[in-house]
Amino acid sequence: MKKHSARVAPLSACNSPVLTLTKVEGEERPREPPGPAEAQAPAGTEAGGRTSRHNWTCSQERLKKVFWGVAVVFCVCASWAGSTQLARLTFKTFDAPFTLTWFATNWNFLFFPLYYAGHVCKSTEKQSMKQRYRECCRFFGDNGLTLKVFFTKAAPFGVLWTLTNYLYLHAIKKINATDVSVLFCCNKSFVFLLSWIVLRDRFMGVRIVAAILAIAGIVMMTYADGFHSHSVIGIALVVGSASMSALYKVLFKLLLGSAKFGEAALFLSILGVFNILFITCIPVILYFTRVEYWNSFDDIPWGNLCGFSILLLTFNIVLNFGIAVTYPTLMSLGIVLSVPVNAVVDHYTSQIVFNGVRVIAIIIIGLGFLLLLLPEEWDVWLIKLLTRLKVRKKEETAESSGDLGTGPQSRSRRARPSFAR
């Protein structure tokens, strides 16, 4: 039987604090037809045993996915929160957000080599890197990755990627990491609004409510610090970063559609190449104009820069390929859980004040994010669940009333003496 490959749609920092995310659409696994023995199995003990074994296998698979989901959630939460906090720490001695963006984005070049290493270890049909590269290049069209395709279908996303990351990192300089991470969660609301307008996606009332909650949370977060210029600029930078990443995702879906794992890895590596070839001049210009200047290369905290880049690379790898072992919703929960982690770290390392307005804003934005995780058919599932509960309650009521009705009669029959001799 021919297997269908899972497809993923690379997104800019849609779910990521700084770098790209990939939204993964579930793997299609066609169900195999039953064998002759299964088709002709008689009703009875054999069929019941086969059904119980099938249910046990399904339960094991679900438990395995949940187990891997917990591990993925931990990795997503730790890598996202860690990268955000490490960026804030780096800016204390190295005030160069664009240079940090450029340096970390260069590491995207490793996506395809790492993917190919995994392909060699797991795949039964071994291919050379050149063969795998040519196969993945079909994602860009029949002619593969041409110069025209590079500038029309890759370069615009490289620019959006850089803007998303730079605005996010620059915002960390202005406001605390907790506010930055929670405000970036509004990205999912912006994605829904743009998809609804541009892609004509299905209208969902619950997602409109989530978008309203996100906007309300942004306003309340601005009010929490009293509309000071410093905080307003920082909030505007985060909102701009979330908007750029939402635009990245919608444009990718509009122009390129979805991609397989190898195609997504190749695309992300191409963005790294674009960054090296065409963005390198900007940090050089910023250095010589003293906008982002350091006295000597010995003053650069290379450990922080490399640690930040490794955390982001780990975050992106887990988020891009985690769908192979668990559910996409569980991966998204790791992003929400990183907000309280950042809040705890900020409480002990900075002078953040968690007043009532800030706490309410965080809760509102987090609630909106969770509402956006609901599946499209959530209302149908809810109606079915309520119907089942209602039917079960009626059955239990009928059984209890039946037991009450037959109980005294049976006891009276057992207690009645027999006069037969």
Ordered by start, the domain boundaries in the chain are 65-380
Rounded Cα distance between 114 and 117, Å, is 5
Q: What pLDDT shows up at residue 112?
A: 92
Rounded Cα distance between 87 and 172, Å, is 8
pLDDT at residue 76 tops 60: yes
Per-residue confidence at 13, pLDDT binned at 50, 70, 90?
A: very low
pLDDT at residue 25 tops 80: no
Per-residue confidence at 151, pLDDT binned at 50, 70, 90?
A: very high
Q: Which long-range contacts (CB under 8 A, 24 or more apart) does 294-302 make?
A: 294/94, 294/96, 299/93, 299/94, 300/94, 301/90, 301/93, 301/94
Q: What pLDDT shows up at residue 7?
A: 56
Q: What pLDDT shows up at residue 2?
A: 44
Q: What pLDDT shows up at residue 80?
A: 92
Which of these ranges, 12-21, 122-131, 217-226, has the smallest mean pLDDT? 12-21
Rounded Cα distance between 379 and 387, Å, is 12
Which of these ranges, 58-67, 219-228, 289-298, 367-376, has the smallest mean pLDDT? 58-67
pLDDT at residue 246 tops 70: yes
Rounded Cα distance between 202 and 323, Å, is 24
Mean pLDDT of all residues in the chain?
Answer: 80
Q: What pLDDT shows up at residue 53?
A: 58
> What sign does the dihedral 230-233-237-242 (CA atoms) show?
positive
Average pLDDT over residues 282-302: 90
pLDDT at residue 184 tops 80: yes
More confident site: 140 or 168? 168
Q: What pLDDT shows up at residue 55?
A: 58
Q: What pLDDT shows up at residue 378?
A: 63
Which of these ranges, 61-65, 280-284, 357-361, has the smallest mean pLDDT? 61-65
Which of these ranges, 15-24, 154-163, 304-313, has the smallest mean pLDDT? 15-24
Which of these ranges, 36-50, 79-93, 380-394, has the smallest mean pLDDT? 36-50
Question: How crowded is residue 273: how many other Cβ atoms within 10 Å of its Cβ?
Answer: 16
Question: How crowded is residue 187: how many other Cβ atoms within 10 Å of its Cβ?
Answer: 32
pLDDT at residue 12 tops 50: no
The position carrying tokens 């029949």 is 142
Question: How crowded is residue 218: how many other Cβ atoms within 10 Å of its Cβ?
Answer: 22
Per-residue confidence at 407, pLDDT binned at 50, 70, 90?
A: low
Torsion of the alpha carbons at 211, 213, 216 and 221, rounded to the nearest 10: -110
pLDDT at residue 351 tops 90: no
β-strand partners of 260: 7
Q: What pLDDT shows up at residue 54?
A: 56
Q: What pLDDT shows up at residue 330?
A: 76
Identify which of 127-141, 385-399, 401-415 has the greatest average pLDDT. Answer: 127-141
pLDDT at residue 206 tops 50: yes
Which of these ranges, 18-32, 143-157, 360-374, has the smallest mean pLDDT? 18-32
Q: What pLDDT shows up at residue 32?
A: 41
β-strand partners of 9: 23
Query: Percent of the chain scored above 70 by pLDDT?
Result: 80
More confident site: 311 or 125? 311
Q: What pLDDT shows up at residue 36?
A: 41
Rounded to 10 deg, the angle between the 155-174 and 261-274 helix axes is 70
pTM: 0.78
301: left (phi over 0), alpha (psi -120 to 50) or beta: beta
Residue 111: which of 321, 335, 251 has the closest Cα?
321
Residue 22, judged by CB atoms within 10 A of its CB (0-12, 13-18, 19+), counts as buried
Rounded Cα distance between 166 and 245, Å, is 11
Q: What pLDDT shows up at residue 181?
A: 92
Identify which of 58-72, 76-90, 227-241 has the greatest average pLDDT. Answer: 76-90
Contacts for 214 with CB less than 8 Å, ≥ 6 apart: 185, 186, 189, 190, 364, 365, 368, 369
Q: What pLDDT shows up at residue 287?
A: 93
Average pLDDT over residues 176-182: 91
Identify which of 24-33, 194-203, 404-413 has the greatest average pLDDT. Answer: 194-203
Rounded to 10 deg, the angle between the 45-90 and 328-349 helix axes is 30
